[in-house]
Amino acid sequence: MSVPPAPVAAVIPPLTSLSSCAGCAAKIRPDLLAEIVSGLNTLKPKQVLVGLETGDDAAVYQLSPTQAIVQTADFFPPIVDDPFVFGQVAAANALSDVWAMGGTALFALNLVAFPKELPATVLKEILAGGADKAREAGVAIVGGHSVNSPEPKYGLSVTGTVHPKKVLRNVGAKPGDVLVITKPIGTGIATTAVKKGVAPQAMAKSVIETMTALNQKAGAVFASGKFKVNALTDVTGFGLLGHLWGMTRGSKGVEARLELERIPIITEVASLAARGVVPSGTKSNLSAVEKQVRFPAGLPEAVKHVLADAQTNGGLLAAVPAKDAKKAQALLEKAGVASWIVGGFEKGNPGILVQ
């Protein structure tokens, strides 16, 4: 009697091979998005403290004189092939928006798009990774929504709270402020290099550590009230230049200044950019913002791409009065958070000067 052949195990393609754009690089470019949402006839009751106006990291809705809700949603296609790590990165990235508003994250809902062709075990690993980061942050995942989709996507809708008078906006920078950032940039270029198989092994490990690191401790320091924070945002899909432009444009009478030598960059990212390893989202970011930036004469295009690189769960970017800068950095260091002063703000017309 013949023995039936053993079933052939399904071949699971690398998750990033199913992504049209990886991670936060999948965002619609900021100038186009602003055009799309401008003029929308949306209801805005007086309880809405933060809405669409400045493209802030989350919405804020006041419930009482002492309590407001912070609400955000963020999801994207795979930026790494490991399902568990993808879940970790996506969850950490979504949670960051609440901390960038000075809030405390309370609970979250899973947002899932998943191909029918992939084994359910892959999705289970993605959700396990998200649950791992939410648990680390002390945030309950209490439900969610899923749809079938040829391209996998994952993220969270996160609900938090903040005191109405302690909301930290992405606008409000003042002349004399310094710019503090809490993570190196370059994750978009680095993950593109990993996908193409040209990334050094140390870089592959470093970029995952950067993207999975929670911004919770940094957010708590900036929200502590122990020093003044005039503006705060997180650096994600629009890149350092894009998010800084949003901060500058929405503030009054200031020009931002970036000092190239002070900006932390993931090791090898600059050399990879010089070799043309640049994701499409990063190129779109530069195209969207370059008219607002004064670059040094002869600055290589690769350096511009690094500054515009689409980040996934990048660091927090804060405008802090110069007199409070040392205290801010000392408190961040005490909390185990690295930080760099990368520039500042001066009186002038909205724009960015790169030196």
Q: Which of 10, 12, 235 is nearest to 114 (CA)?
A: 12
Catalytic pick from 15, 22, 24, 194? 24
Q: What residues does 107 pair with on adjacent strands?
A: 140, 159
Active site residue 24: yes
**Sign, Cα dihedral of 266, 267, 273, 274:** positive
The pairing of beta strand 140-148 with beta strand 177-181: unpaired
Alpha-carbon distance of 217 to 312, in angstroms, equals 18
Q: Give me the active site residues, please.
A: 24
